[in-house]
Structure 1
């Protein structure tokens, strides 16, 4: 057992994050869910930030012939021998992703009932598996994607729109593979672990509609480009719905979830004599609003010892959003942590980490950052105005200047955001 008093508190919250990442390692998660070898061909396809690592795990544990292609984010590749790995852009799709998606769709067409399609899906797949529906250009899809990312829309809302602008998402990929058997292994990066939302559910029936997609664009004031508007209002071909016979034989397994990562971190905390409190694995909302709530809970612990006395650690996951109003740098984790810094106002004994488990916070080179009780004072001494930088959405700039960014590089997994708020006893 390692007591927290024997370690730097900032190092301790980083150790909790490392435990969370280990719990979502594709090398550990994939093997137990591999299906039986088929009589026919095995075609491995996939998309997402963990897709290459998942493909490597398949290769390492599959002793029969296989072939295939997966697409992942730039710099997220793995050393695969039999499964081709293509790297493409995220979060805004590019031509590499479009070409890879087209090739994946072609690979599964014309298969037989004795063939197996093993689909490896993880967060980021929506942007990486980018095959625009007929009548839409890649540029139009990029424009809608950028607008959604800035709007503050929740992930299920964004993915509803993406499904209805796609030739491959929302169950269309599984429908194209029929009558082959389709087995999908999913690493969840969405609140609630809904397979139809993870990477926009390319192999899962879609309960949403064109009308839902239109309503989301209207809700956030997003003007649809000409091709997009024509498609959404024409409603020519809906996504496959629950009960569609083409998907009747498809099997779907969520093999790694945010909750398991929180439980792994909680075990490390208990071993160190720290009481873990898991607040939830599916927390959503504006990052700065969530930070206000978390600050309130931290103050309740410090003042009243509720819901548990210090020392304790508040653990949470999910996917917050950021409505971009400024021109600063940073993703939702840096935004959350900067808002928490302002809300805590130097509260003694409180340390916090907020990181994206894929290692990339938004489109920056950091996973997130770490907050200490001295952060606000250090910022003031360095001439940094925390409130002004928050208003400018410049969480990256704030923590970068303080040397408090967490940089892991690509982790090749993705189970959403991880937050840990450590509250020490103040005597």
Structure 2
């Protein structure tokens, strides 16, 4: 198996460990005395709906919303598509319909929620006093700011009529079970899809502080909403008494699946962490330093070994190029490693789309910079312009999988083949 084949096999194992057809059936609740209403949102929600249909032996009704291109054919549940990462009218209309579906239920009814990453943008029900256009402006600004996913979703939930526990409040007194596929560092359920069924410990003041921290320009209506609107439901609110939030797939489990592939190939895996955050190019510098220490000193692990990590980095957009956080990480990594022999890397988003382009990520080889130079590419200039997609596309090293129909955040692997002499 070549280095590239091993890295791709590890990525596939990480994705496969979180596929809904494997993890949904094992966590289904008992059938209720009353109705079963299915709702959901996220990049994996279409596949989760299909897995539920195949495993559920009772009547079903409901609606889930997923990203354009992620719909899976279903027979009993409706699956609609909407925009991500910036919401659109389709997501707004779906969120309104979902809110209406869960109201007026009894204590004998079950609301089964299928929640995965991406749900924040897809459940686009504006809070009182703001419009969809306001939410779009805030989302665009947040995506460019360098804010972490926790910070972004803290703002989003306070501008929503459905997130931050408000879906659970609308469904009360029905029994609510949320099956969650985690795409956030630390698997915090209140952050996944901005926690529509989870008590919200954050406040409107926290959201305002984040806007101020990153100097984000937002419409006046947004500031007024955050200063005057009612708070999200907090821990201890009676509306959560019959709510169960169940984690059915996590980044850590996917990293462990990838590690098993490496061991089978005779390569020692070193899991650095499943919740690594920070600027993509800064995280790359740290990873490059660890990889270099392995190659030169045999620490923390003698080669052959592979460094594995997950989490969600950020990008502060200053250039006009194309790409996502995984290709940005890899381009910075390649520059930092400077062609060091015997080191290969892959980084990709487990949902199959890195940012807003058509690739999951890319690969780095020892000769990446040399081939780029031959092709007339200036790696440092392209990184400064936030143009890693173009860089890797022109040298033919993009990782293209198409939508995977799941999402447990980013996957990074750096393979160190041999110990190098000092």
SS at match of 2:231: coil
Question: Is 1:114 matched with 2:114?
Answer: no
TM-score w.r.t. the length of structure 1 is: 0.98
Q: 2:296–2:419: 8 Å Cα contact kept in structure 1?
A: no
Q: Distance in 1 between matches of 2:4 and 2:372?
A: 17
The one of 73, 86, 91 aligned to 2:80: 86
User: Contact 1:290–1:336 at 8 Å: present in 2 too?
Assistant: yes
**What are the Cα deviations for residues 217-250 of structure 1, in whole angstroms up to 9, with x where unaligned?**
000001220210111111x310000000011110
Counterpart in the other structure of 1:3: none
Conserved in 2, the CA contact under 8 Å of 1:348 and 1:426?
Answer: no
User: Structure 2 residue aligned with 1:403, among 385, 396, 400?
Assistant: 396
Contact kept in structure 1, 2:302 and 2:419, CA below 8 Å: no
Equivalence map 1:253-402=2 (5 Å): 253-402=246-395
Q: Tell me how far apart the structure 1 counterparts of residues 183 and 403 of structure 2 sit (CA, whole Å).
A: 15
Looking at structure 1, the residues matched to 352 and 129 of structure 2 have their Cα atoms a distance apart, in angstroms, of: 35
Q: Any idea what SS the aligned residue of 1:86 has? A: strand
SS of aligned partner of 1:321: coil
**1:38 to 2:32 alignment:** yes
Secondary structure of the 1:121 match is: strand
Q: Quote the Cα distance in structure 2 between the aligned partners of 1:127 and 1:260.
A: 25
Matched, 1:169 2:163: yes
Counterpart CA distance in 2 for 1:33 and 1:126 is 23
Deviation string, structure 1 residues 143-164 (Cα, Å, up to 9, x no partner): 0100000000000000000000
Structure 2: how far apart are the matches of 1:73 and 1:25? 16
Q: Is the 8 A contact 1:313 1:422 kept in 2?
A: yes
Q: 2:186 is paired with a residue of what secondary structure?
A: coil
Report deviation, 1:426: 5.0
The normalised TM-score by structure 2 is 0.99
1:171-210 map, 5 Å: 171-210=165-204
What CA deviation, in whole Å up to 9, does each residue of 1:77-112 have, x standing for no partner? Answer: 001111100000000000000000000000000001
Aligned length: 420
Aligned to 1:26: 20
The 3-state SS of whatever aligns with 2:227 is helix
| TM superposition shift of 1:368 | 0.1
Residue 425 of structure 1 and its aligned partner are, at CA, apart by 1.1
Q: Note the alpha carbon deviations across 1:188-237, whole angstroms, 9 max, x for none.
A: 00000000000000000000000000000000001220210111111x31
Instruction: Give the aligned partner of residue 126 of structure 1.
Output: 120
